[in-house]
Homo-oligomer: A and B are copies of this chain.
Amino acid sequence: MPEGAADGRIEGFLDLDLDRAQRRGAPEAVLCDAKSVEQVAAIAAEYARLHAEGRDDLGPVLFTRADADRAEAVLAALPDAFHDPAARLLAWPAAPPEPTGGLVIVACAGTSDLPAAREAELTARYLGRPTRLIADIGIAGLHRLLNRLPELREAACVVVAAGMDGALPTVVAGQISAPVVALPTSVGYGVASGGVTAALTMLSACAPGIGVVNIDNGYGAGHLAAQIARWAPAPIL
């Protein structure tokens, strides 16, 4: 450790928020896509160094929005980290905490919303909740949604990811009593391109009980869902 440096501080660009778990009840997350590969590598190395020095209050740390290069940089320093390339997420240590609280279900219509949905599910899991992913419900074929209602009603919080028209969260929220976290995705083309239409639809939802996060912000959705489900009774297995 360089003389004069503080734990978690890398002079000139970073000051890790190591006490965040205590203040906020959730550990630190490192948003990778706004950092250079070198910066990501330095952060991962700092965690490895702190761990080698015996600190055991660090994790789990999430590295989010990590492309292949940044993921490789994390794994070089923390080779036993968990890595889900589709969700662009790494977690270290790899083992999630023992689940507590209510069930978080992440639902989406199909294949294209899966990366954001999976990021949300993994975040909630590493923040300590039991989680489940439902990937095949859509409003253009209501029967698939209706078939899944009993399952959705078991959740303490449901994250619904949707691109294009973004109408799925309203339909789900109208059928259940748990809060819904609406996660717009950038999937789409034409006027739906980039996800703004989905975000606007979700904010305009006719059904109450919906909180919206930023487009493609699977991490934020999972974080919020984990907070919401914290006090709920555990699911019956």
Contact = CB atoms under 8 A, between A and B. Distances in A.
How many copies the complex holds: the figure is: 8
Q: How large is the interface on A (under 10, 10 to 19, 20 to 34, 35 or more residues)?
A: 35 or more
Query: Which interface residue of A114, A181, A197 has the most chain B CB atoms within 10 A?
Result: A197
A152 interface: no
B197 A35 contact: no
Given A111-B14, A167-B167, A196 B191 contact: yes
A213 B214 contact: no
B34 A206 contact: no
A34 B210 contact: no
Interface string A199-212: 11111111111111
Contact of A204 (B192, B205, B207): B192
Interface in A1-53: 9, 12-15, 17, 20, 23-26, 29, 31, 33-36, 39
Contacts of A36: 111
A166 interface: yes
B214 A192 contact: yes
Given A171-B171, A204-B214, A111 B39 contact: yes
A171 B167 contact: yes
A170 B140 contact: yes
A209 B224 contact: yes
A227 B225 CA distance: 12
Contacts of A102: 231
A194 interface: yes
Contact of A214 (B33, B139, B146, B203): B203
Given A33-B189, A138-B206, 12 more contacts: A31-B112, A39-B111, A164-B204, A179-B224, A190-B217, A191-B204, A192-B200, A197-B200, A198-B204, A203-B215, A209-B220, A210-B211
